Every structure is written in structure tokens, then in C-alpha cells.
Amino acid sequence: MSTQSHNSSLEESFVSVHEKTILEGSEDLEEEFPQPALQEAESSCNDEKSAAILNLDDPAVPRRLELSAHQTDLLATLRTRLTEARYPDQIEAAEWSYGTETNTLKMLTREWLHLYDWNKELAHLNQDFEHWTCRVNGLDIHYVRHDPWADMAEDPVTEEILEGPFAGKTMVNEKGEIIMPLLLIHGWPGTWYEFGKAIQLLKKRGRFQIIVPSLPGFGWSQAPTQKNFGVRAMAKTLHELMQHLGYKHYVAQGGDWGSIISRTIATLYPEHCLAIHINMLPCLTPRPWTRPFEFAKAVTGFLLPSIVYKNNPRERASIEALKMYAIEDGAYFFIQATKPQTLGHALHDSPVGLLSWLTEKYLGWADLDPAQPETWPFSKTELLTQVMIYYSTGTITSSTRIYYEAYHTRDLEWLLRRPVPASVPVGVGVWNKEIFMVPKAWADDYMNITSWHEFPKGGHFAAFERPVEFEKEITGYFTSEHILDLFTAKRHGYKI
């Protein structure tokens, strides 16, 4: 049986926690969910009604994963390094203008050393989320999965497995609402955990089959070992993951690199990725040959935002944030895009250095006052968990290489100049302190924006900072009538 066939089957029946799956007859489901693996398994059993056991030695077969640290002496070493940390001097009244403020870093280091319990948090991550792994595009990819169809249906009296992987299952939830596959894509310095609180809210909503991968080289996903694994390779890997799991048609959402990868997937695979939602929007000015007036306004507005956008504070703030990023905040981008290995030696070796590097981004890009931790939209424990995912898996260096590869493969240049196919609707969430956002008129020249909502609070990490608003926003968008009609038509094979 082929690897692809194995994993098409796993979409319907899935492996159990004991890494063993029994496939039995199918019930007229082939029209909407082809089951080549089921057919092969049945024929190989010579039509006998017996179990077809998958080859679980095949790394392409999805299997449950228990998260753990890669080092046995991790915590002992970490405690020593935190205890012996040395700190530089600081200019008086510098606060955050020179970078991570030292007193805040010391406070977080003490929290990490004396109060934070990695084993406890790791147990929560394993208990609260389903973790899986499988080989895709040559890499072992970790992903969190919630699929209301994944479990076998049981007889409520005998507790026996009912026949057929979809026995008792339908394509709608108990309220009769359509369920669709949703791919959530994080960025840097995020991890899959950025979506943790939103995942729990989405699960309660019951509208989605949820897949949240760790990007290659992040957390528990294997890092590429060859050059040129850029944004298009990331997009190819995540798209193949969705196909691998049997989700022929799906929708995607992302912020930071997740927004760029979502756009890339929609551009490369518009027949499969049917709609996207993004909460970061880097974009070129409108093209002069398609929208000459908007082009002239954009160029003038970038130079004189206070005049051109005086009647639109949101657009004025977006332009000013872009200019501030280019002048004050963008140096990290070029370090990671040119010399990630040099930086990696320091960040991989020093937990306090890693904490400083990541904390500056979380507290600088989120909508918060770094001097008042009690008002932060995420707890110190949640912030340290993000840092620990990088530290415990040793993936800070491989994560920063996404900048190098995207820059040197010119993937960003390719993406920014290529419009998203008009057949793929785009939703945009505009959070108050997003570092990369442009006026809607710019983006309208490159994508079919069907939803644009602005939020008075929230920053670059929308799902991490404002999970309730984030969940309502993406649920409202993806379950809107035009998205549901598009998804239903594609699912039944109609051409749009």
C-alpha cells in the first residue's frame, strides 16, 4: 500500500493513542471523501471482515506524540545558567528605547528560575491538546489536531466500535452546521502555542476540524538541513500536510509569517485553499497601471501621512508604524536574514539571552505597557512557555533561518508582486498595534478582500493577546454565507 493511500485512510479513521488503527468497510462515503486506502485494505483482506493494521514503522503514518524536552538534563542545566546569569549596565531612564529593559529581564529571569514549572506546563500541553507527527515533504512535522470525526463511533451500550470509520458521523455538527478544515499558521517568535487559548474556544464552537502545525524548524517539527527552504517550501509542506491527512479543501489563517505563508498557499493552491484570513498585511503600493490614483495617493501618503490620511487615523497609524519599523525596529530582521547562525550561537547557548531576544518582541509588538506586567494580555507563565518551547527543543537558530531563506530565495519579493487569485476570498483583522498593516486600498489591488474588521485593542499576536475576539473574528468570517457556499460547492465537485 502506498504512503499516500495509508494517510488518506488515516483522515477518516485515524490512529489511536496506542498507535493502532483498524479499518473496516465504508458506507457510501467515496463521493465526498475518497478512501483508496480503505479499498486497498479491504481487497488485501480478500473481502474478509477483519482488521487492516497499518504499518506504523512508516514515518509518513500520523501517530500520537507526547511532547517532551530533547535533553534529559535540561532543567538542571537551565537552573544553573539562570542562577549564574550576568547582566549588562543600562543607561539611566533608558527604559525600552535601547532594547530589552534590564529590570524587566531580571524579573522574568527570577520568575523562570523560582516560580515557573516546565514539567507542570508540559503536562498541561499534553493533556489539553492532541499532538501528532508525521513525515511530510521529507520532514517530521508536529501538529496539534482537533477533529470531531477522528474518533470511531461506539455503541453506547456495548462500547463496541461500530462498522465503518464514519459510522454515526455526518458532515455537519449536532446543530446541523457545516464543519470545515481550518489550518492555523503561526510565525516568529511565535509557536503553535500562540493559538492555544483560541483552539479551546474553537473546539467549543464546533465548526472546524483544526490543524495547527509547528513550522519546520520550530518546536517539535524537524528543521530543514538544506538551503533554500523558504516561504514557498513552507507553504508546500503545510499544503501537503493537509492533503496527507485527507483535507482536500480547507481554509487557512495566520499572522506574522503565518499570514505570508497563508497568502502563499492561497496563491499556489487556490483549488484547495478556498479562503484565508490574515492579521498582518505587508503589501506593496497599488500598481500604477491598474490603480493610478491610489498609487499616487499611496506614494504621497507614505511621505506625508498626517496630511493625506488626516481623516483616517487608522490608516495614518499604519503608515507611521511601517516607517517606525523600518527606522527603529527592523534591524533584527536583517540580522536573521543575513547572519542567523552567528546570532544562533548566542541565543542557543544563553537562556537569558534567548529570553531577552524574544521578550523584546513580545512586549514591544503586543498592545501593552511593559512596565505593568499585571495588565499584560498574556501571563508571565504563558510568555515563558513560548520561550521554553524554543529553549527545550533547541530550535531558536533553525526558526530564525526562515528570514534568511525567504530573503535569499526572494520568496517575499515573489509574493508581494503576485496577486492572490480572485477566486480566494481574503479576510483581514486589523488589530490596534499591528506592526505591519497597510491601507485597505493598497491591499485591494492584490487580493479579493471580502471582510475587513478593525479592533481598538490588540497587537501583533492577536490570537495570544485577544483570543476571544480572535476566535469570534475568524469563526464569523469562515462561517459567513459566501465562504460556506464556496466550500460546499467545492466539496461536492461543482466548479466555481
Strands lying side by side in the sheet with 448-455: 63-64, 131-136, 139-146, 208-213, 180-185, 250-254, 273-278, 425-431, 448-455
Q: Which helix (H) or strand (E) holds 82?
A: helix 74-83
Q: Is 403 a catalytic residue?
A: yes
Give CA–CA dist 442/299, Å, rounded.
Answer: 11
**DSSP string for 363-393:** HHHSSS-TT-GGG-SS-HHHHHHHHHHHHHH
- Decide if 230 contacts 406 (C-beta within 8 A): yes
CA angle 405/409/411 to nearest 5° reads 95
Which residues make beta-bridge pairs with 427?
277, 451
Task: Answer positive or negative: Cα dihedral of 31, 36, 37, 42.
Answer: positive
Give CA–CA dist 183/213, Å, rounded.
Answer: 8
Which phi and psi (to 5°) does residue 475 adopt? -65, -45
Of 220, 185, 241, give the one whose Cα is nearest residue 65.
Answer: 220
CA angle 107/384/84 to nearest 5° reads 50
114 three-class SS: helix
475: its cell numbers: 469563526
124 three-class SS: helix
| Residue in 403, 404, 446, 477 annotated catalytic | 403
Which amino acid would we find at residue 383?
L
Give CA–CA dist 413/284, Å, rounded.
Answer: 10
Neighbours of 367 (CB within 10 A): 20
- Decide if 174 contacts 206 (C-beta within 8 A): yes
114: its cell numbers: 523560582
486 three-class SS: helix
Give CA–CA dist 53/384, Å, rounded.
Answer: 41
- Which one-letter DSSP state was computed for residue 193? G
Give CA–CA dist 131/125, Å, rounded.
Answer: 9
Give CA–CA dist 166/163, Å, rounded.
Answer: 8
Q: Give the chain's end-to-end CA distance (angstroms, integer).
A: 34
| Residue in 147, 256, 367, 411 annotated catalytic | 256
Q: Is 272 a catalytic residue?
A: no
Neighbours of 174 (CB within 10 A): 8
Which amino acid would we find at residue 189?
P
Q: Is 87 a catalytic residue?
A: no
| Residue in 131, 186, 348, 460 annotated catalytic | 460
Which active-site residues does the annotation give? 256, 403, 460
